[in-house]
Amino acid sequence: MPDSPRLQHLPIALFAMVMGLSGLTLVWQKCASIFDLPVTIGQGLLVLTGTLFALLLSAYGVKLMRHPDAVRAELNHPVKLSFFATITISLILMGTATRHMLPDLSLTLWAVGASLHLVLTLFIVDRWMHHDHFQVKHINPAWFIPAVGNILVPIAGMTHGYEAASWFFFSIGLIFWMILLTIIFYRIIFHDPLPGRLLPTLFILIAPPAVGFIAYVDMVDAIDPFARILFNTGLFMTLLVASQIGRFARLPFFLSFWAYSFPLAAMTIATLIYQQHTGTGWAQWLSVALITVTTGVILWLSMLTLQAAGRGQICVPE
């Protein structure tokens, strides 16, 4: 692959696009099973997601070989560090999306993704514990990303029969979500406001309870009181960020806008599952609204990203 001046500045945050498209794939797979819609929508999205992941992984691999100092700088960055987990999460999500169509491929993707994610979680937590330059102002909801990856593992893990491993990863993700949630709200309330570039990461507040609900219901196969707590926490976080739509509307486009995508997809799937189990009318209407919003937002983000790439605004020095 020929080198390019832009390759050095290829951001690890681009893998959040794969998470968003994987989430949309899972939304439309769920829609196909509930509403008897064509499965080709989900299949097409899965092919698109897999292709994008392969391209980004290849490009970032070349960056690692040719510009190792740039990769090392991202690993030492208080915000970008957490985005390395988007690579392993992408593997877990694609393993989840293929679990019914291609079970052997799904098991391979899931096992590799989960194993690497455990290693990466240990590495990131070690960096957090033994750093020499992180400050409270550096923490933001992007720090949830490694925790969310652990909570995702049981969704495919239970399908493949790995119950003990599923509970192990779920427990890790749940505990670190609670720890980080406390620190992040402390930072938001008592320190300087998040800068505009990081403001979209507030949407990540939705992801842990929404994904936690999906995984927990898969493990216990019921809507019990704890499941309701997770679902309603996710619903409140969705309302919280929706109430601030005016702040987001005034922002110029950043790649961090992709933080809108996966959390919305997770909450959409959670609502579909909640409606399936409870049969409540309001959940059905809410799920239809969220399907529309999530699909529209990801199409909008894709268009903005392509436009920014066409103008040479991606893969540039910050």
Q: What is the pLDDT of residues 258-314, one digit of tens each?
A: 999 999 999 999 999 999 999 999 999 999 999 999 999 999 999 999 999 998 888
* Cα torsion 251, 261, 56, 157: sign: positive
Evaluate whether 197 touches 140 at the Cβ level (below 8 Å): no
Evaluate whether 170 touches 150 at the Cβ level (below 8 Å): yes
Is the model's pLDDT at 28 over the cut of 90?
yes
Cβ atoms within 10 Å, residue 240: 13
Is the model's pLDDT at 133 over the cut of 90?
no
Mean pLDDT throughout 46-73? 95
* 3-state SS, one letter per residue, for 234-286: HHHHHHHHHCCHHHHHCCCCCHHHHHHHHHHHHHHHHHHHHHHHHCCHHHHHH
Let me know if 35 is exposed, middle or buried by CB neighbors in 10 A (0-12, 13-18, 19+): exposed
Helix axes 225-242, 207-220, angle to 10 degrees: 160
Helices (H) and strands (E) in the chain, counts: 13, 0
How many Å apart are CA 265 and CA 271, to the nearest integer?
10
Cβ atoms within 10 Å, residue 73: 12
How many Å apart are CA 148 and CA 113, to the nearest integer?
13
How many Å apart are CA 76 and CA 295, to the nearest integer?
34
Is the model's pLDDT at 71 over the cut of 50?
yes
Q: Which amino acid is at 177?
A: W
Cβ atoms within 10 Å, residue 254: 17
Mean pLDDT throughout 100-114? 96
Is the model's pLDDT at 3 over the cut of 80?
no
**Of the listed ranges 99-113, 126-140, 141-155, 242-256, the one predicted with least confidence:** 126-140
Q: Comparing C-alpha atoms, which of 71, 89, 188 is closest to residue 140?
A: 188
- Give percent of the chain above pLDDT 70: 99
Quote the Cα angle for 70-73-77, to 5°.
140
Strand ranges for the chain from DSSP E: none
Is the model's pLDDT at 96 over the cut of 80?
yes
Interacting residues of 19 by C-beta distance below 8 A, sequence separation 6+: 86, 89, 90, 93, 258, 261, 262
Domain 7-310: assigned CATH number: 1.50.10.150
Model pLDDT, residue 316? 84
Model pLDDT, residue 270? 98
pLDDT in tens, 213-222: 999 999 999 9
How many Å apart are CA 148 and CA 227, to the nearest integer?
16
pLDDT in tens, 153-200: 999 999 999 999 999 999 999 999 999 999 999 999 998 888 888 999
Is the model's pLDDT at 1 over the cut of 50?
no
- What is the residue whose two structure tokens read 């268009």? 303
How many Å apart are CA 20 and CA 18, to the nearest integer?
5
Residue 4: pLDDT band by 50, 70, 90 thresholds? low
Evaluate whether 93 touches 149 at the Cβ level (below 8 Å): no
Mean pLDDT throughout 61-67? 94
Mean pLDDT throughout 35-44? 91
Token digits of residue 204: 């990540």
- Give percent of the chain above pLDDT 90: 81
How many Å apart are CA 204 and CA 97, to the nearest integer?
21
Evaluate whether 19 touches 93 at the Cβ level (below 8 Å): yes
Name the CA dihedral angle for 97, 102, 107, 113, rounded to a multiple of 10 degrees.
Answer: -40
Mean pLDDT throughout 94-118? 97
Model pLDDT, residue 131? 74
**Whole-number mean pLDDT of the chain?**
93
